[in-house]
A and B are shown apart, each in its own frame.
Chain A
């Protein structure tokens, strides 16, 4: 919209107010908002890790209490939901990479699948390493 110079006596431009729930009607917009909300899952996971590390620092009793708290049913349900949001973040993030950085070979654009694929390989490999370290600590 071009902004015309408004004078002291010019009426304010009329703008249709947008509902707070503008994103509910369409699937595309809902996915957008869900993707934006993945940041909350990210922050929540970091907070849990911080609490775990604090418990480790405080000693075996604090660690046992942390584990015990994680076993409560509401927390497991919440964490399952958080896990789904983390997956949504990972998938949308990886699939965005080829659009943010189009790769060209011999002037031809490499298919997005091929650009995103290494991300998934890296993801699986990194997950395996982390899982191995945690399992080894058992």
Chain B
């Protein structure tokens, strides 16, 4: 935390990502993590899912869906590590790890959505 003036911006990302995660992630995890693997519902066909993911609006949605919650994670996990582990000497490394991870994930989803 070198510049306190940046905290507002990071908090905004945390907040926006928190809303996206709260509204959309439970149903996605329920469908793909539980309902489909346990056979409660049929597999989405490859072609059907691909066509869905290729829709321009869905691509924008998926970009936001992946990117913002990662910044939510970065902010919250950073403070979990600061407060939970109390490892002050590692704070800079934690910052780089968290926001670096969120940035990498954003680049990955950006690349995927451009190629889709």
Contact = CB atoms under 8 A, between A and B. Distances in A.
A80 B109 CA distance: 25
A36 B25 contact: no
Contacts, number: 164
B48 A138 contact: yes
A138 B77 contact: no
A103 interface: no
Given A33-B84, A50-B112, A134 B43 contact: no
A137 B38 CA distance: 18
B9 interface: no
Interface residues of B, number: 56
A53 B34 contact: no
A13 B113 CA distance: 55
Nearest to A73: B37
Most buried by A among B46, B112, B115: B46
A43 interface: yes
Contacts of A90: 21-23, 26
Binding site secondary structure of chain B: helix
Interface in A90-138: 90, 93-94, 119, 122-123, 126-127, 130-131, 133-138
B70 A57 contact: no
A138 B42 contact: yes
A126 B23 contact: yes
Given A86-B26, A126-B24, 18 more contacts: A20-B85, A36-B76, A36-B79, A39-B72, A42-B69, A42-B72, A49-B65, A50-B108, A56-B53, A60-B46, A63-B46, A82-B33, A86-B25, A89-B18, A130-B28, A131-B27, A137-B45, A137-B48
Interface of A: 18, 20, 23, 33, 36-40, 42-43, 45-50, 52-54, 56-57, 60, 63-64, 67, 70-71, 75-76, 79-80, 82-83, 86-87, 89-90, 93-94, 119, 122-123, 126-127, 130-131, 133-138
Interface of B: 17-19, 21-34, 36-38, 41-46, 48-53, 62, 65-66, 69-70, 72-73, 75-77, 79-80, 83-86, 101, 105, 108-109, 112-113, 115-116
